[in-house]
Amino acid sequence: MPENSAKPLAAIYIRVSTQDQAQHGFSLDAQEDNLKNYASALGYEIFKIYRDEGKSAKDLKRPEMINLLRDAEARKFQAIFIYKLDRFSRSLKDLILTIDKLKEWNIDFVSLQDKIETASASGKLMFHIISAFAEFERNIIGDRTKFGMERKAKEGGFITKAPRGYKLVNKQLVPDQQAETIKRIFEEFLNTDISLTQLAKKHNLSTAGIKKLLQNTTYLGKVKFADVESQGSHPPIVGQELFDKVKTKLEGV
């Protein structure tokens, strides 16, 4: 495009699989010619043609698709033209989430055969509908993740990294060589006059860190997710009586 051209820039994306070519003679050249003419008729200048030949549309991991989306994020053009939605992606989820991302980048999206173009009022409505589906999909993913983590917690699985005194072995918490030190920290705090600050310094922790350690119910063999505590599948390091007495003393500090 000439530097002083007032026309908006358009990217053309074309894809054809080996099967498409063999069964339908659905060539890249045919898609390219149709899209160049359509973009020109709508007043666009061609920025670049992105061609993925012999590639499946099962996901977005195609060399030119990756380049296209990288350039879109960099706002190198104002619109993307495709021949048909299944040229872009056969995954509805990928399609919805990608078009929603293009909306965020202010990139128009035009599908010739599907009569979709997001530059018009009706096209903008389509964008809003697609965005609603994208938000729904993200919420579904979030709900599934939360459900999985809650279920794991209820079944005694551990959610985050291992705290001091434990190590992760096959995704299970197992007491390590520091387990006895953890127990001694609880006993020392309960049975001596040592301050939290002195205890923290002795064990290379901050005062807030030592207090958090003494309040950590993981050492009781429990797991916690979303403020819901469940019995874990890992062995405790301290007993309930010792933990409760430490808790009472902490409340008085």
Residue type (1 letter), 124: K
Nearest to 116 by CA among 134, 132, 101, 96: 96
Query: Active-site residues: which are they?
Result: 17
- CB neighbours (10 Å) of residue 240? 10
Q: How far apart are CA 77 and CA 100, in angstroms?
A: 17
Residue 227 and residue 153 in contact, taking contact as beta carbons nearer than 8 Å: no
3-state SS class at 206:
coil
The sign of the dihedral angle between the CA atoms of 212, 215, 219, 222 is negative
Nearest to 218 by CA among 142, 169, 164: 164
Nearest to 112 by CA among 32, 189, 168, 175: 32
Give the tokens for residue 135.
């938000």
CA–chain centroid gap for 182, Å, is 35
> What are the φ/ψ torsions at residue 172 (nearest 5 degrees)?
-120, 145
Give the tokens for residue 235.
């062995």
Q: How far apart are CA 187 and CA 207, in angstroms?
A: 17
